[in-house]
Amino acid sequence: MTAATSAFRSLSLAIVRGFVRDKASLFFALVFPLMFLVLFGGLFADQGTSKVEMVQVGEVALFDDLPPGAQEAFDETFEVEQSDDLDAAIATVRDGDADVAVEMQGDELVAHYTQTDQVKAAVTQGTLRAFVDGANVAATGAPPTYTLTAERVEDDSLTTIQFVTPGLLGWAVAMSAAFGAAATLQGWRQSKLLRRLQLAPVSTRTVVAARVVVTIGIALVQLAVFLGLGAAAFGLTLTGSWWASIPLLVVGTLCFMAVGLFAGAIAKTVEGAVNMANFMVLPMAFLSGSFFPLDAAPPWLQAFSRLLPLRWLNEGMLDVMVRGQGPAAVLVPMAVLAGFAAVLTLLAARFFQWETH
Amino acid sequence: MPAAIEVHDLVMTYGDLRAVDGVGFEVAEGEFFGILGPNGAGKTTTLEMVEGLREPDSGTITVLGEPVWPRNPGLLPRVGVQLQASSFFERLTAREQIHTFAALYGVPGARGDEWIERVGLVDKADTRVEDLSGGQTQRLSIACALVHDPELVFLDEPTAALDPQARRNLWDLLRGINEAGRTVVLTTHYMDEAEVLCDRVAIMDRGRLLRLDTPAALVEALDAPVRVVEKRGTLEDVFLDLTGREYRQ
């Protein structure tokens, strides 16, 4: 092991220890964003997807001979319960314990429904009518003239968890990278540790590399925790080349470290640096779609958000994680983030002063 | 004896203020050298230029026969520096701290453990630096400066804010370091400390070097009327005699 490797290892270890022993930075890097994930993924999970509860009175031949495709659609829409007593079934519907009671009167399918839930009432009527029409067409023996093919458009049908996981992850990574860099730069300057390291036979490159590698490691842990928890607890499904989010996240981490360096360079105290980083990252998270989709936002806001690095990080991660896109989708975001990183690092170097007068 | 440090005509200006104004001195190898002066006298700026942290506006500096500016990686392992007590990695224990510094200088961690013992911090080795007392912090900071066994050590006010026990124990430690053959350069506000420890002292004020000589010669040269008083112990000696010289929390 060369001297530089040993210095790099022990510096990295020192930084990791400093991070995991700091309850506040651990909280803001992991627990705080995860609280939002649980909030959005758990509490605001898609509503109105529960099935229509149907009470079937006696035999309903129409439902027994459904063609395979229609059977599937039927099962997805209705939760069926059998009954022999029509009055009792209607009473169940009236009490709100079921949405519809159906019976056959000869060739007539009679549905007793309640208007309490208008969406379910409409679904019930529409679906049953479609089955009856389909059965009529089938009975004529003639092929149907018109057919319907339904295709999901991924973006519009993104469930809450699919949307919020990449956005909240982007915010979490941005926050911990910026805070880490800002607090380290200011803290080490205040304690003169930066000066002390300057007088040790270790190159600036080694010191910077240790700090960068640790921050990237933290970002990858955040990625694993977010995707793991999202998939295990809230039904997150990754659809695209999600692995392409790893290089994207690395460049994003560098970009937000540069944001933190800039904040650390212009602030005078550690608290000031962290507040400054917060002041930059939190509004950016709102305007970059970390908490809510920007699709409904006014055009000027959408245009403005393109000036923010976090918007690019979020978009890139959405594309490859849940919009089913290939690795090429992260190339432009990576280039933009790298550009921000370079400019902000130069600005930080321009404003940095060794002494706090 | 060859010079460990040679400084000629050092000048450093901040705007209109000449923080260091034509300072020159030599420190011999193995010497215990003190720099005295009130706050703002230019001691720390002088020291930072000699350590190689700042580029002087003019003047020359040679340390152990080598130039210090720009950053001289060959020289750094031969020099130990204590900048101020709190120059530590956050939230590391005393042992982790000195092991990290040992690794930065490419020396084994066992040397760090030896120093922890020498400065009497074995009981506190697993305590985080934030929880150490002022004296323990100073001792750890000196141990970190010495872990790579440098030929020359710079100590910036190492006994500031210490109780008399800790101060006298540090004196013993510093004397031991010097007697082991190292050159020591120290700044202090305490005259008794300079008198007891230093072979020679430089007295600075307003960026200028006012006097440079042995403490005894400086006292002798004092132009004031000579007071014929029998030398006796100080109040501090009485206090230490009564309360002992063990380290306190």
| CATH number for position B38 | 3.40.50.300
Contacts of A192 in chain B (CB under 8 A): 83-84, 86-87
ipTM over 0.90: no
Query: B83, A18: Cβ pair inside 8 Å?
Result: no
User: Does the structure show a pLDDT above 70 at B1?
Assistant: no
pLDDT band at A156; cut points 50, 70, 90 = very low
Query: B76, A18: Cβ pair inside 8 Å?
Result: no
For A70-91, the pLDDT digits (tens) are 777 777 778 888 888 888 888 8
| CA separation for the pair A78, A125 (Å, rounded) | 12
Within a domain: B236 = yes
Please tell me the predicted confidence (pLDDT) of residue A155: 46
What is the helix (H) or strand (E) element at residue A80, kind and residue range?
Answer: strand A78-83
Within a domain: B14 = yes
* Interior/surface letters A221-243, b for 16+ CB within 10 angstroms, e for the rest: ebbebbbebbeeebebebebbbe
User: Does the structure show a pLDDT above 70 at A330?
Assistant: yes
Cα B21 → chain centroid: 22
Within a domain: B249 = no
Within a domain: B202 = yes
Within a domain: B248 = no
Pick from B107, B104, B105, B3: which is nearest to B50 by CA?
A: B3
Cα A36 → chain centroid: 10
For B84-142, the pLDDT digits (tens) are 657 899 999 999 999 999 999 999 999 999 999 988 899 999 999 999 988 889 889 99
Range of the domain at B202: 3-243
Please tell me the predicted confidence (pLDDT) of residue A46: 54
Please tell me the predicted confidence (pLDDT) of residue A248: 96
List the single residue in A with minimal CA-CA distance to B150: A200
Contacts of B101 in chain A (CB under 8 A): 200
**Helix, strand, or coil here: B73?**
coil
For A232-254, the pLDDT digits (tens) are 888 888 888 999 999 999 999 99
Q: What is the rounded average pLDDT for all residues in chain A? A: 86
Please tell me the predicted confidence (pLDDT) of residue B36: 87
A14 touches chain B (CB under 8 A): yes
Number of domains in chain B: 1
Within a domain: B125 = yes
Pick from A276, A17, A44, A14: which is nearest to A164 by CA?
A: A44
B88 touches chain A (CB under 8 A): yes
For B196-230, the pLDDT digits (tens) are 999 999 988 888 998 898 888 887 776 555 555 55
User: Does the structure show a pLDDT above 70 at B238?
Assistant: no
Contacts of B92 in chain A (CB under 8 A): 14, 17-18
Please tell me the predicted confidence (pLDDT) of residue A154: 46
Within a domain: B137 = yes
- Under a CB-based contact definition with an 8 Å cutoff, are residues B52 and B71 in contact? yes
pLDDT band at A44; cut points 50, 70, 90 = low
| CA separation for the pair A245, A170 (Å, rounded) | 10
pLDDT band at A105; cut points 50, 70, 90 = confident
For B182-198, the pLDDT digits (tens) are 999 999 888 888 889 99
pLDDT-wise least confident of A184-193, B64-73, B228-237: B228-237
Please tell me the predicted confidence (pLDDT) of residue B58: 93
Please tell me the predicted confidence (pLDDT) of residue A327: 92
User: Does the structure show a pLDDT above 80 at B248?
Assistant: no
User: Does the structure show a pLDDT above 60 at A199?
Assistant: yes
